[in-house]
Structure 1
């Protein structure tokens, strides 16, 4: 009798588990929105897929309230915005009930409740990243003060002091970021922070190291796959490999090929007229060009501009006398996409044999590398 009851109980438990399991698979998300003061209108739910925005749903606002329901296969970045507004609130959407409250004039600052994945991800910026900013702020101010906003050259002692401060800041940032990723290796937040902070701003070695920490499930998620693609792309532009070939037109419409520079050392310099750090670095590149051009060094500027007049004005104003090319597609510049450029300035020093010798040589590093190369010749 006891055995029969036990079997019946186990059977019932198994049935309940199966039902619960099935019901969980069918569960989706619900977003309950409230925008006080916005009596009516249309609100959009959009998928943020890289640099693309795809409208997935839209609903009417009734007396300031709206609701979205649906299901996502895995947590991804979405945004909610009002019709006619350029920006919306970007967040990580997963299958759960989410509360959304915003002011009609600043929907991008909406407050969320119940968005678990987004909250975990956001905790990095509220804690670790804020600590980094608190240390970085005074260092940037000191640097601007000593250099008079880039107009004055630092003394040897000042440069040594600033180098140490920058190095210590980088160590702090790396330590806090790595600890966060490691402690969230089983959660999407680990991959998101890695994508945000290291894929663009870190070294290729760091990206590989941190990616290896993530759980297999997170590595094979949408964002994990994106990071892996970045790692594979970076391997194609690593030091020692042949530089990917490309061709684009110069300011006069003439086609220029990277292969035209075979036999020389050429700095492939990705920049843009609207990029402050690029313009600040330009005098350093000018100095390198003037010092080593007659010895076999050249520069090929690749602009991420989309307006030719601004591109040409920047070339003239900064005295950039080398060859410049662009397809005027902005961040979609085909050479930049080929090289996986995520920020500017970015540069690659290519040797006479067409292989990449060094990457991202800036300020004193560029002068030092060229001195090392041409002192041997």
Structure 2
């Protein structure tokens, strides 16, 4: 999952004296010499400590704003413990085995809500580990096992969405909802739905430092969409080496679908795209798949395995794919729905959202 990469990098640095925000406590049973990192969302604080008898203490060299976000990152653990500096001190009693869920945390309502977020997401993250373990032992030619796994992955996506959306709905005043919405749900929602969910949060949360940055991103995206008007044309080669232009599809609704053979979420989403294609392909609709692969053989194998019958193109440059750069694709799967006049009318349509949107416009 992409949560850690959104806000934090594991960096180390010394912290000056006379700090204004203190985080202390214990994490037991920590391994001898295990490191704990303390970092801020804005990068102004980067500190680390070797745990001794599980105990730790960190201080900032400045007084943070009440809505500043911090993270404790325990060496060997994938996910950080998130904190908010609304109080001057945070005291934590934790367990290395259940990190980032703590036994007790004292440090203000926002930090308590962060713990509620960790507890809510714990079973979901455990499911991720189970699915990853299961996927690692599936044979490449075991189609039945792969189909069964994709079904489980689809169920997991539904569980994640329901869990996340319910937390956001019941915690509108929590910065944790903002973090969850941007970190776990953004790529699973349409741009319009993401904007609506953001707008449902309490005004104080939306006006937090992180909230303002998200609001600016939404505003920029809306402005770019308004200015863009027509989908930018591009051309790449199909598997047989024939050059295909996006503009050659003018007069049809076309879904530009960015994906790759190595992208697990893309492969999990492909059955939904296949179903939508077969349901609407006779209603002036088609798909142009753009692969971010580097290996042509892996690309072609995935096309065959996932039964992607529509036009596929790639320049085999991976993340440097020229079309992906043109459309500022930063994560996949990603798609853009273009109308017969070449105007982008929707984006990031996944799961049921794709079929729902197509049903609205292709009556």
Aligning the two structures, in what range does the TM-score lie when normalised by the shorter sequence? Answer: 0.5 to 0.7
Contact 1:263/1:353 (<8 A) preserved: yes
Equivalent residue, structure 2, for 1:291: 282
Measured after TM superposition, the shift of residue 224 of structure 1 is: 0.7
TM-score (norm 1): 0.59
Structure 2 CA distance for aligned equivalents of residues 340 and 230 of structure 1: 14
Using the alignment, how far apart are the partners of 1:278 and 1:205 within structure 2? 20
Q: Does 1:44 align with 2:37?
A: yes
What is the CA deviation profile of residues 275-329 of structure 1, one whole-angstrom value per residue up to 9, with x for unaligned ones? Answer: 254122243255258635xx6x442213466766543321122232412336423
Between stretches 55-64 and 236-245, larger displacement belongs to 236-245
Q: Is the 8 A contact 2:336 2:346 kept in 1?
A: yes
Q: 1:232 to 1:97 in 2, by over 3 A?
A: same
Distance 1:239 1:251 in 2: 31
Q: 1:349 aligns with which of 326, 330, 337?
A: 337
CA contact (8 A) 1:249 1:327 kept: no
> Which residue of structure 1 aligns with residue 258 of structure 2?
270
1:119 matched to 2:112? The reply is yes
Query: Which has more radius of gyration?
Result: 1
- Conserved in 2, the CA contact under 8 Å of 1:89 and 1:109? no
Deviation of 1:199 after TM superposition, in Å, equals: 3.9
* 1:316 corresponding residue in structure 2: 304
C-alpha change, 1:241 and 1:323, in structure 2 (3 Å) is same
Give the distance between the partners of 2:222 and 2:148, measured in 1 at CA.
36
CA contact (8 A) 1:269 1:300 kept: yes
How high is the TM-score relative to the length of structure 2?
A: 0.61
1:186-335 to structure 2, matched below 5 A, reads 188-189=175-176, 191-195=178-182, 199-202=186-189, 204-212=191-199, 217-235=204-222, 242-245=229-232, 247=234, 249-250=236-237, 258-259=246-247, 261-273=249-261, 274-275=264-265, 276-287=267-278, 291=282, 297-303=285-291, 309-321=297-309, 322-325=311-314, 327-329=317-319, 335=324
Cα root mean square deviation, aligned: 4.8
Question: Looking at both structures, which has the greater relative contact order when contacts are Cα pairs under 8 Å and sequence separation is at least 6?
Answer: 2
Ranges in structure 1 where 5+ consecutive residues have no aligned partner = 1-24, 131-147, 153-165, 373-377
Give 1:87's aligned residue: 78
For structure 2, the 5+ residue unaligned runs are: 1-17, 124-146, 152-157
Equivalent of 2:57 in 54, 57, 67? 67
Q: Distance in 1 between matches of 2:72 and 2:298?
A: 32
